[in-house]
Each structure stands twice: as C-alpha cells, then as structure tokens.
Structure 1
Amino acid sequence: MSIVRPYGDTTGDGMVQLSFTLPVPHSKVAEGAAAQLATKMGLDAVLVAHSRPMGPDFTFFVVYGRTHHLVDTDAVVVVERDFPLLTPKEVNAAVKESLQRRLVVVGACIGTDAHTVGIDAILNIKGFAGEKGLEYYRELRTVNLGAQVSVPELVARAQEEQADAVLVSQVVTQRDAHLLNTREMSAAFREAYPEERRPLLVVGGPRFDESMAAELGVDRVFARGTTPGEVASFLVHRLARTDAADRESQESPA
C-alpha cells in the first residue's frame, strides 16, 4: 500500500487548508464560530488564517489545521483516459480517412443554465488553455446553440444537423440541476433515436463526477480542466473507429 498524509509545513504533518462561508456577520465571534466548526470537523491546532465579510450577513473564512486521517493511494478509484491524445492535424486526418466526411458536433447549455463559458471554451476557435476549439478543426463541423436550450430543442437540432455527437455543458448545480438536466437529455435522445443511430452524448462541467457516465445515461463525462484537444481525441476514438468498422462490415462479402 502507498499511505500518505497531507503536507503543510513539514512532510507528513497533516496540515490542511479549508475554506467555507458562514451566515454570520464578520466579527470576532464569527471567527470563533469558524474555528469551532473546523474543530468539530476533526481538525487540531486550528488557525483562522483569513476572514472577509460577504455583505452584511455572511463571512468567508480560510482555516488551517491538522488532520490525522491517512490516504491509501492504492485504493483510489478514478476514470483514466482510455484514448490517445491527438494533435489537430491527426484528428483531421483520422476523421477524413475513417468517416470520409466531416464529423458533426452540436453543443449547448441546457435547461436554465446561462453560463456558456464551458461550451464556448470547447467549441469556439479561441479555445482554452492554449488549445484552439473544435471550430478550428477542418474536418469537424460545429454548431453552438448557446445557453438555455431546452432538451426538445436540442434533440430537434441534433436531428436536423445529423449530429454525430452532442456536447452539453452544465455549470449551474444548485439542487443537482446538472444531474437532472443530463438525465432528461439522455432519456430524450434514447426515445428519439434507435440505439445504433443515436449521437454520442458527452457532458461536462466543474461539478460532474467522471465515473457517473453510465448512471447518467451518457457516453462520457468530462470534469473541470478538460481541453478541446481531449474532447476532439475522444470523439475520433469513439466515432471514427466505429464508423470505419461498420463500413468495413458492410463491404465484406457474406
């Protein structure tokens, strides 16, 4: 096993930093309340390192303290990337060779979500983290529907555009809105399409758990920090390979 403890000032000292907001006015009493909460959470030697009023009735805190919990990194379960990262040139070549047509991607923010920063970062040519978005890829045709798109509208547009993949970004997470919207979207596409013709369903956002794809009924979940290159590589991995295999089976003699 590989057992580790948090590092603060010295190796293995268990020191951690935690931030939160309490619904109390900024004061010494508020700082005492923050220290009490951190202590009840199991931290020792608690220090309120920072406090700031958030309007007249709320206070934001950063506290510092020691935890006695250990982490076994061998027991950590994550979703590993199971496809190679390709350059834009490699993506274009793979799509051209395998699909022999442009790969169509429809993207949107669904429900009441008006935050387009995520979908724009993946689709728009300006991209994200130094990578250009999918609009930059010559062999990809992207349709960005923007924000507050209803699920029926998304399904109808995907059918109209003959989409190969549908990308949905969800930033608003109050009351698990991102999960409810994703499940509604998944169910609608499965009702509207035969399984073999359904577009690839991909969702992303800062509060998604990448391991929930099957539970949400989608093909892939991308979490915070995902780049356009990762999304493009995944689409090629799943769509170009599948389409080429289907075409080969159709051309093979009986």
Structure 2
Amino acid sequence: MSIVRPYGDTTGDGMVQLSFTLPVPHSKVAEGAAAQLAGKMGMDPALVVHARPMGPDFTFFVVYGRVHHLVDTDQVEVVERDYPLLTPKEVNAAVKERLRRRLVVVGGCIGTDAHTVGIDAILNIKGFAGEKGLEYYRELKVVNLGAQVSVPHLVERARAEEADAVLVSQVVTQRDTHLLNTREMAAAFREAYPEHRRPLLVVGGPRFDETMAGELGVDRVFARGTTPGEVASFLVARLTGQEAS
C-alpha cells in the first residue's frame, strides 16, 4: 500500500484548501455558515481565509483547514493510455498503410452547448498545447459541425460522410447535461447503425470521468488537458488494430 495525506505547510499535515459558493449575502453570519459547512465536511479546524460577495445574494468562500482522511494510491482507479502515442507523420503513415483511404472524423458540440473551445482545440489546425489539430493530418478528413448540433443532425452527417469516428465536446454540465446528452447520442448511433458498422464514439470535456465510457455507451472518454495527438493516436489504434505500447 501507498498511503498519503494532503500537504499544506509541512509534509503529511493534512491541510487542504476548499472553495465554494453559498446562496447568502456576505456577512459575519455567512462566514460562520461557511466554516460550519467545512467542519461538517471533515475540516477541523476550518478557517475562512477569503470571502467575497457575488452580487447581493451570494458569497464565494475559500476555506483552509485540516482533514484526517488518508488516501491509498494503490486503490485509485484511472484509465491508462493503452495505445502508442504517435507523431503526425506516424499517424498519417499508419492510416495510409492500413486503411488505404482517409480516416473520416465528424465532430461538434451537441445539444445547447455553444462552447466550441474544446472541440476546436482538437480539430482545428491551430490545435492545443503546442500540437496542431486533426485538420493538420493529411490522411484525416475532418468535418467540424461547430456548436449546438442536434443529435439527429450529428447522426445524419456521420452517415453522409461515412465517418469512422464521431468526436463530441461537452462543456455545459448543469444538472448533468453533458451526461444526458452523451447517453442520448450513444443511443441514437446504436439505433441508426449495425454494431459492426457504427463509428467510434468519443466524448470529452473538463467534467467527464474517464472511467465512465461503458456507462455512457461510448468508446472513449477524454478529460481535461487532452491533446490532438492523443486523440489521433487513439483513433489510429482502434481503427487499425495497432498494438499498445
């Protein structure tokens, strides 16, 4: 086992910092409520180190305090990369050699989600984190549908383009909208395609849990910080049967 505790001022002191908003006007009572909430969450002692009004009826807090919880890193469940990370040149070569045609990717933001920063970071040639997006790969055909794409339209375009993969970005998460939209999308594709002909379904966004792919009915979930190269490498691995490294 590998047991760890949070680090604040000294190793293993259990100190953590927590931020949240309460639907109350800023006052001494509000700060006391914030400290009480932190105490009920296991912080002892809990010190309100920052409080700022957010309009007349809300207050944002930062609380600093000690927790007594331990974490066993051997029991942490994560999704490890199970495919080789390829350069754009290697991606192009693999697609050309194994598919012998361009790999077709259709992407967009579904439902009412109008935040295209995530999908554009992966698809647009300008890319993200120093990597060029999938439009840069000459052996990939990229169709970016943009924002607020309905699920029926996404399915229709995927069929028309004979897509190998469908990439969906979801940033809006109120009331688990991203999860509901993803499940709706997965169900629609399963209804529209025979299983052996269905395109790969890939979703991503800052609030997704990478371990939920099976539960959501998709082939892969990518969380925050994912780069275009990681997505391209995954697509090649799954669509060409390339061995993991």
The residue that corresponds to 1:7 in the other structure is: 7
Q: Which runs of 4+ in 1 moved over 2 A?
A: none
SS at match of 2:36: helix
Aligned pairs for 1:19-168 (under 5 A) are 19-168=19-168
Query: 1:215, CA displacement in angstroms?
Result: 1.1
Asked whether the equivalents of residues 83 and 237 of structure 1 are also in contact (C-alpha less than 8 Å), the reply is yes
TM-score by length of 1: 0.93
- CA distance in structure 1 between the aligned counterparts of 2:239 and 2:144, rounded to whole angstroms: 19
Root mean square deviation of aligned Cα: 1.0
**Counterpart residue type for residue 22 of structure 1:** L
Asked whether the equivalents of residues 25 and 59 of structure 1 are also in contact (C-alpha less than 8 Å), the reply is yes
Query: 1:156, CA displacement in angstroms?
Result: 0.4
Q: What is the CA deviation profile of residues 50-91 of structure 1, one whole-angstrom value per residue up to 9, with x for unaligned ones?
A: 111111111111110000000011111111110111111111
SS at match of 1:78: coil
The residue that corresponds to 2:193 in the other structure is: 193
Gaps of 5+ in 2: none
**Counterpart residue type for residue 3 of structure 1:** I
Q: What is the CA deviation profile of residues 210-252 of structure 1, one whole-angstrom value per residue up to 9, with x for unaligned ones?
A: 111111111101111111111000000001228xxxxxxxxxx
- CA distance in structure 2 between the aligned counterparts of 1:146 and 1:19, rounded to whole angstroms: 33
TM-score by length of 2: 0.96
Aligned pairs for 1:170-189 (under 5 A) are 170-189=170-189
Gaps of 5+ in 1: 243-254
**Counterpart residue type for residue 90 of structure 1:** E
The residue that corresponds to 1:206 in the other structure is: 206
Query: 1:117, CA displacement in angstroms?
Result: 0.9
**Counterpart residue type for residue 68 of structure 1:** H
SS at match of 2:241: helix
Q: What is the CA deviation profile of residues 135-182 of structure 1, one whole-angstrom value per residue up to 9, with x for unaligned ones?
A: 111111100001111111000000111100000011111111111111
- CA distance in structure 2 between the aligned counterparts of 1:25 and 1:67, rounded to whole angstroms: 28
Query: 1:29, CA displacement in angstroms?
Result: 2.0
Q: What is the CA deviation profile of residues 100-144 of structure 1, one whole-angstrom value per residue up to 9, with x for unaligned ones?
A: 111000001111111111111110111111111101111111000
- Percent identity between matched residues is 88
- CA distance in structure 1 between the aligned counterparts of 2:122 and 2:239, rounded to whole angstroms: 18
- CA distance in structure 2 between the aligned counterparts of 1:229 and 1:126, rounded to whole angstroms: 13
SS at match of 1:106: strand
Q: What is the CA deviation profile of residues 162-210 of structure 1, one whole-angstrom value per residue up to 9, with x for unaligned ones?
A: 1000000111111111111111111111111111111010011111111
The residue that corresponds to 2:229 in the other structure is: 229
Asked whether the equivalents of residues 122 and 134 of structure 1 are also in contact (C-alpha less than 8 Å), the reply is yes
**Counterpart residue type for residue 223 of structure 2:** A
- CA distance in structure 1 between the aligned counterparts of 2:43 and 2:181, rounded to whole angstroms: 37
**Counterpart residue type for residue 56 of structure 2:** P
Asked whether the equivalents of residues 98 and 241 of structure 1 are also in contact (C-alpha less than 8 Å), the reply is no
Asked whether the equivalents of residues 110 and 150 of structure 1 are also in contact (C-alpha less than 8 Å), the reply is yes
